[in-house]
Amino acid sequence: MVQEILAFFKIPWIAAFTAVFFWWFLTGLILFIVKKVDEINQRAHKFVTLILCPVFFLGVYLYLTSLSNISLSSIYSAFFGSLLIWSWFELAFLSGFITGPSKELCPQGIDQIKRFSYALSTIAYSELLLFITLLSMVYLSTGANNTVGLWTFGILFFARICAKLNLFLGVPSINTEFLPSPVVHLASYFRVGSTSWFFPVSISLISFTLFVLVDNIFDAENQISTTIGFTLLASLTTLALIEHWFMVVPLRDAELWKWMLPKQKKQLKLKKTNSENYVSEKIHGL
Protein backbone atom coordinates (compact mmCIF):
# COMPACT_ATOMS: atom_id res chain seq x y z
CA MET A 1 0.00 0.00 0.00
CA VAL A 2 2.79 2.41 0.98
CA GLN A 3 4.69 1.60 -2.21
CA GLU A 4 1.59 2.32 -4.29
CA ILE A 5 1.15 5.71 -2.62
CA LEU A 6 4.83 6.58 -3.16
CA ALA A 7 4.54 5.53 -6.80
CA PHE A 8 1.61 7.94 -7.16
CA PHE A 9 3.69 10.83 -5.82
CA LYS A 10 6.52 10.08 -8.24
CA ILE A 11 4.44 11.69 -10.98
CA PRO A 12 5.65 15.30 -11.53
CA TRP A 13 2.20 16.80 -12.13
CA ILE A 14 0.99 15.18 -8.90
CA ALA A 15 3.90 16.85 -7.10
CA ALA A 16 2.98 20.20 -8.67
CA PHE A 17 -0.67 19.79 -7.67
CA THR A 18 0.37 18.81 -4.13
CA ALA A 19 2.51 21.94 -3.76
CA VAL A 20 -0.27 24.21 -5.01
CA PHE A 21 -2.92 22.53 -2.86
CA PHE A 22 -0.96 22.73 0.38
CA TRP A 23 0.01 26.34 -0.32
CA TRP A 24 -3.69 27.15 -0.83
CA PHE A 25 -4.86 25.05 2.13
CA LEU A 26 -2.33 26.36 4.66
CA THR A 27 -2.94 29.95 3.58
CA GLY A 28 -6.68 29.46 3.96
CA LEU A 29 -6.25 27.77 7.34
CA ILE A 30 -4.11 30.63 8.67
CA LEU A 31 -6.63 33.22 7.46
CA PHE A 32 -9.50 31.22 8.94
CA ILE A 33 -7.79 31.08 12.35
CA VAL A 34 -6.95 34.79 12.55
CA LYS A 35 -10.38 35.88 11.30
CA LYS A 36 -12.18 33.47 13.63
CA VAL A 37 -10.20 34.73 16.61
CA ASP A 38 -11.01 38.28 15.49
CA GLU A 39 -14.67 37.36 15.61
CA ILE A 40 -14.62 35.54 18.96
CA ASN A 41 -12.01 37.33 21.08
CA GLN A 42 -9.35 39.63 19.62
CA ARG A 43 -7.24 39.33 22.76
CA ALA A 44 -6.73 35.61 22.15
CA HIS A 45 -4.51 35.98 19.08
CA LYS A 46 -1.22 35.49 20.90
CA PHE A 47 -2.62 32.63 22.97
CA VAL A 48 -3.75 30.78 19.84
CA THR A 49 -0.33 31.29 18.25
CA LEU A 50 1.39 29.77 21.29
CA ILE A 51 -1.05 26.85 21.36
CA LEU A 52 -0.08 26.08 17.76
CA CYS A 53 3.67 26.01 18.47
CA PRO A 54 3.69 22.21 17.89
CA VAL A 55 3.14 22.99 14.20
CA PHE A 56 6.47 24.83 14.20
CA PHE A 57 8.27 22.00 15.98
CA LEU A 58 6.77 19.42 13.64
CA GLY A 59 8.13 21.44 10.74
CA VAL A 60 11.58 21.58 12.35
CA TYR A 61 11.49 17.82 12.92
CA LEU A 62 10.54 17.08 9.31
CA TYR A 63 13.23 19.46 8.08
CA LEU A 64 16.02 18.04 10.23
CA THR A 65 15.21 14.37 9.63
CA SER A 66 15.18 14.88 5.86
CA LEU A 67 18.60 16.51 5.49
CA SER A 68 20.67 13.35 5.05
CA ASN A 69 18.29 11.47 2.77
CA ILE A 70 17.26 12.04 -0.85
CA SER A 71 14.51 9.45 -0.96
CA LEU A 72 11.14 10.53 -2.34
CA SER A 73 9.56 10.63 1.12
CA SER A 74 12.43 12.79 2.43
CA ILE A 75 12.02 15.25 -0.44
CA TYR A 76 8.36 15.71 0.45
CA SER A 77 9.17 15.84 4.18
CA ALA A 78 11.68 18.63 3.61
CA PHE A 79 9.18 20.60 1.54
CA PHE A 80 6.30 20.19 3.99
CA GLY A 81 8.57 20.83 6.97
CA SER A 82 9.59 24.22 5.62
CA LEU A 83 5.98 25.04 4.74
CA LEU A 84 4.90 24.29 8.32
CA ILE A 85 7.70 26.41 9.79
CA TRP A 86 6.77 29.24 7.44
CA SER A 87 3.07 28.87 8.22
CA TRP A 88 3.65 29.25 11.95
CA PHE A 89 5.70 32.42 11.41
CA GLU A 90 2.96 33.77 9.15
CA LEU A 91 0.35 33.04 11.81
CA ALA A 92 2.54 34.71 14.45
CA PHE A 93 2.83 37.78 12.23
CA LEU A 94 -0.86 38.12 11.38
CA SER A 95 -1.74 37.51 15.03
CA GLY A 96 0.48 40.40 16.09
CA PHE A 97 2.64 38.03 18.15
CA ILE A 98 5.83 38.68 16.17
CA THR A 99 5.74 41.93 14.20
CA GLY A 100 7.90 44.93 15.14
CA PRO A 101 8.57 47.49 17.88
CA SER A 102 5.95 49.89 16.50
CA LYS A 103 2.24 49.40 16.08
CA GLU A 104 1.55 53.02 15.18
CA LEU A 105 -0.02 54.39 12.02
CA CYS A 106 2.31 56.06 9.55
CA PRO A 107 2.58 59.80 10.26
CA GLN A 108 1.30 61.98 7.44
CA GLY A 109 3.45 64.42 5.51
CA ILE A 110 6.80 62.62 5.89
CA ASP A 111 9.34 61.88 3.17
CA GLN A 112 9.93 58.45 1.61
CA ILE A 113 12.99 57.62 3.72
CA LYS A 114 11.22 58.32 7.00
CA ARG A 115 8.15 56.46 5.76
CA PHE A 116 10.34 53.43 5.02
CA SER A 117 11.90 53.67 8.48
CA TYR A 118 8.49 53.77 10.16
CA ALA A 119 7.25 50.90 7.98
CA LEU A 120 10.27 48.77 8.83
CA SER A 121 9.69 49.35 12.53
CA THR A 122 6.27 47.71 12.25
CA ILE A 123 7.64 44.41 10.87
CA ALA A 124 11.31 44.38 11.95
CA TYR A 125 11.11 41.55 14.51
CA SER A 126 9.25 39.29 12.10
CA GLU A 127 11.62 39.84 9.19
CA LEU A 128 14.70 39.53 11.40
CA LEU A 129 13.49 36.25 12.88
CA LEU A 130 12.71 34.88 9.42
CA PHE A 131 16.19 35.88 8.23
CA ILE A 132 17.83 34.24 11.26
CA THR A 133 15.80 31.10 10.58
CA LEU A 134 16.97 31.10 6.97
CA LEU A 135 20.60 31.50 8.04
CA SER A 136 20.15 28.63 10.51
CA MET A 137 18.80 26.47 7.72
CA VAL A 138 21.79 27.37 5.54
CA TYR A 139 24.13 26.32 8.36
CA LEU A 140 22.27 23.06 9.03
CA SER A 141 22.09 22.26 5.31
CA THR A 142 25.81 22.70 4.68
CA GLY A 143 27.02 19.42 3.22
CA ALA A 144 23.52 17.89 3.42
CA ASN A 145 22.22 15.66 0.65
CA ASN A 146 18.72 17.13 0.71
CA THR A 147 18.41 20.92 0.38
CA VAL A 148 14.78 21.07 -0.79
CA GLY A 149 13.67 22.38 2.60
CA LEU A 150 16.27 25.15 2.51
CA TRP A 151 15.29 26.25 -0.99
CA THR A 152 11.60 26.09 -0.10
CA PHE A 153 12.08 28.49 2.81
CA GLY A 154 14.44 30.65 0.75
CA ILE A 155 11.93 31.06 -2.08
CA LEU A 156 9.17 31.98 0.38
CA PHE A 157 11.42 34.47 2.17
CA PHE A 158 12.67 36.35 -0.89
CA ALA A 159 9.23 36.35 -2.52
CA ARG A 160 7.90 37.88 0.72
CA ILE A 161 10.56 40.61 0.70
CA CYS A 162 9.82 41.43 -2.95
CA ALA A 163 6.07 41.55 -2.26
CA LYS A 164 6.47 43.82 0.76
CA LEU A 165 8.71 46.25 -1.09
CA ASN A 166 6.30 46.40 -4.02
CA LEU A 167 3.38 47.04 -1.69
CA PHE A 168 5.34 49.81 0.01
CA LEU A 169 6.51 51.47 -3.21
CA GLY A 170 3.14 51.15 -4.92
CA VAL A 171 1.04 48.73 -6.95
CA PRO A 172 -2.36 49.24 -8.61
CA SER A 173 -4.24 46.36 -7.01
CA ILE A 174 -4.21 45.57 -3.29
CA ASN A 175 -6.71 43.39 -1.47
CA THR A 176 -7.54 44.35 2.13
CA GLU A 177 -10.31 41.87 2.87
CA PHE A 178 -8.17 39.53 4.95
CA LEU A 179 -6.38 42.05 7.16
CA PRO A 180 -6.83 40.93 10.82
CA SER A 181 -7.14 43.43 13.67
CA PRO A 182 -3.66 42.93 15.26
CA VAL A 183 -1.91 44.25 12.14
CA VAL A 184 -4.52 46.71 10.92
CA HIS A 185 -2.05 49.57 11.48
CA LEU A 186 -0.12 48.35 8.44
CA ALA A 187 -2.88 49.92 6.34
CA SER A 188 -1.13 53.27 6.54
CA TYR A 189 2.20 52.09 5.12
CA PHE A 190 1.23 50.67 1.73
CA ARG A 191 0.41 52.58 -1.40
CA VAL A 192 -2.07 52.08 -4.23
CA GLY A 193 -0.68 53.60 -7.41
CA SER A 194 1.39 52.90 -10.46
CA THR A 195 4.14 50.31 -10.17
CA SER A 196 7.64 51.41 -9.26
CA TRP A 197 10.97 50.44 -10.84
CA PHE A 198 11.19 47.54 -8.41
CA PHE A 199 8.20 45.64 -9.81
CA PRO A 200 9.84 44.65 -13.13
CA VAL A 201 13.03 43.85 -11.22
CA SER A 202 11.22 41.49 -8.85
CA ILE A 203 9.26 39.89 -11.70
CA SER A 204 12.51 39.33 -13.60
CA LEU A 205 14.24 37.77 -10.58
CA ILE A 206 11.35 35.41 -9.86
CA SER A 207 11.00 34.50 -13.55
CA PHE A 208 14.72 33.76 -13.81
CA THR A 209 14.53 31.56 -10.71
CA LEU A 210 11.61 29.69 -12.24
CA PHE A 211 13.52 29.21 -15.50
CA VAL A 212 16.51 27.73 -13.65
CA LEU A 213 14.28 25.36 -11.65
CA VAL A 214 12.39 24.15 -14.73
CA ASP A 215 15.69 23.66 -16.56
CA ASN A 216 16.88 21.49 -13.68
CA ILE A 217 13.71 19.40 -13.91
CA PHE A 218 14.57 18.47 -17.49
CA ASP A 219 18.25 17.93 -16.64
CA ALA A 220 17.33 15.50 -13.86
CA GLU A 221 16.45 12.85 -16.47
CA ASN A 222 15.43 9.65 -14.64
CA GLN A 223 16.37 10.76 -11.12
CA ILE A 224 12.88 10.70 -9.61
CA SER A 225 13.68 12.37 -6.28
CA THR A 226 15.59 15.19 -7.97
CA THR A 227 12.80 15.71 -10.51
CA ILE A 228 10.14 15.86 -7.79
CA GLY A 229 12.24 18.20 -5.65
CA PHE A 230 12.68 20.72 -8.45
CA THR A 231 9.02 20.33 -9.43
CA LEU A 232 7.90 21.27 -5.91
CA LEU A 233 10.21 24.30 -5.91
CA ALA A 234 9.17 25.36 -9.41
CA SER A 235 5.50 25.14 -8.43
CA LEU A 236 6.09 27.34 -5.39
CA THR A 237 8.02 29.86 -7.49
CA THR A 238 5.21 29.91 -10.07
CA LEU A 239 2.76 30.76 -7.30
CA ALA A 240 5.03 33.60 -6.15
CA LEU A 241 5.15 34.92 -9.71
CA ILE A 242 1.36 34.74 -10.09
CA GLU A 243 0.88 36.52 -6.76
CA HIS A 244 3.08 39.37 -7.92
CA TRP A 245 1.06 39.75 -11.11
CA PHE A 246 -2.11 39.88 -9.00
CA MET A 247 -0.75 43.19 -7.69
CA VAL A 248 -1.19 44.79 -11.10
CA VAL A 249 -4.01 42.76 -12.64
CA PRO A 250 -7.43 43.51 -11.08
CA LEU A 251 -8.48 39.90 -10.49
CA ARG A 252 -10.37 38.82 -7.39
CA ASP A 253 -7.76 36.43 -6.02
CA ALA A 254 -9.42 36.82 -2.61
CA GLU A 255 -12.17 34.49 -3.84
CA LEU A 256 -9.68 31.62 -3.51
CA TRP A 257 -10.15 31.75 0.27
CA LYS A 258 -13.06 34.07 0.96
CA TRP A 259 -15.67 31.30 0.80
CA MET A 260 -13.97 29.36 3.61
CA LEU A 261 -13.59 32.29 6.04
CA PRO A 262 -15.99 33.58 8.72
CA LYS A 263 -18.24 36.34 7.42
CA GLN A 264 -16.81 39.75 8.24
CA LYS A 265 -18.96 42.07 10.29
CA LYS A 266 -17.03 45.18 9.32
CA GLN A 267 -15.28 46.05 6.10
CA LEU A 268 -12.05 47.98 6.13
CA LYS A 269 -12.49 51.29 4.34
CA LEU A 270 -9.67 52.76 2.33
CA LYS A 271 -8.66 56.30 3.16
CA LYS A 272 -7.19 58.76 0.72
CA THR A 273 -4.35 60.96 1.87
CA ASN A 274 -3.87 63.84 -0.55
CA SER A 275 -2.60 62.36 -3.83
CA GLU A 276 -1.73 58.94 -2.41
CA ASN A 277 -3.81 56.04 -1.20
CA TYR A 278 -2.35 54.03 1.62
CA VAL A 279 -3.81 50.61 2.15
CA SER A 280 -3.01 47.46 4.01
CA GLU A 281 -0.48 44.84 3.11
CA LYS A 282 -1.98 42.38 0.71
CA ILE A 283 -2.43 39.01 2.32
CA HIS A 284 -0.81 36.69 -0.18
CA GLY A 285 -0.44 33.00 -0.06
CA LEU A 286 2.30 31.84 2.33
Give residue 242's domain range: 11-279
**pLDDT for the residue numbered 249:** 85
Please tell me the distance from the alpha carbon of residue 212 to that of residue 21, in angstroms, as a whole number: 23
Q: How many CB atoms lie within 10 A of CB 278?
A: 23
Q: Flag whether 168 is in a domain.
A: yes
Q: Which residue has the higher pLDDT, 263 or 203?
A: 203
Predicted confidence (pLDDT) at residue 190 exceeds the cutoff of 70? yes
Q: Flag whether 92 is in a domain.
A: yes
Bridge pairing between strands 276-279 and 190-192: antiparallel
**pLDDT for the residue numbered 250:** 76
Q: Flag whether 286 is in a domain.
A: no
Predicted confidence (pLDDT) at residue 1 exceeds the cutoff of 90? no
pLDDT digits (tens, 9 = 90+) for 90-118: 999 999 999 999 999 989 888 999 999 99
Q: Flag whether 234 is in a domain.
A: yes
Q: Flag whether 269 is in a domain.
A: yes
Query: Which pLDDT band holds residue 41 (cuts at 50, 70, 90)?
Result: confident
Q: Flag whether 275 is in a domain.
A: yes
Give Cβ neighbours of residue 113 (< 8 Å, ≥ 6 apart): none
Q: Flag whether 5 is in a domain.
A: no
Predicted confidence (pLDDT) at residue 10 exceeds the cutoff of 70? yes
**pLDDT for the residue numbered 282:** 43
- What is the mean pLDDT of the segment spanning 207-236? 94
**pLDDT for the residue numbered 283:** 42
How many domains does the chain fold into? Answer: 1
Query: Which pLDDT band holds residue 259 (cuts at 50, 70, 90)?
Result: low
Average pLDDT of the chain is: 88
Q: Flag whether 96 is in a domain.
A: yes
